[in-house]
Amino acid sequence: MLLKSFFQQACTAKEVSELHLKKITNLLHQDSSDRLKKEKTESLIQTASSSVGIHELSLKFEIKQSID
């Protein structure tokens, strides 16, 4: 599954915005077979930082269960 290890680490906007740029870049780079680069990572972090998002634990649990 594309981006599986990324979503195992961060499946809410808050979690994405709290991860270090290098960690996200490495996860996306690994999961996307070199298709997602640092610029996309920076864009993702910026979007997550300004996102209202949903931060409910039940939704986070459901997302993690669906990718496993």
Domain boundaries, the chain: 4-67
Greatest distance between any 2 Cα atoms in the chain: 32
How crowded is residue 28: how many other Cβ atoms within 10 Å of its Cβ?
Answer: 21
Percent of the chain with pLDDT over 90: 0
pLDDT of residue 18: 85
pLDDT at 54: 64
pLDDT in tens, 30-48: 777 777 777 777 887 788 7
**Angle at the Cα of 10 from the Cα atoms of 21 and 30, rounded to 5 degrees:** 60
pLDDT, mean over the chain: 76
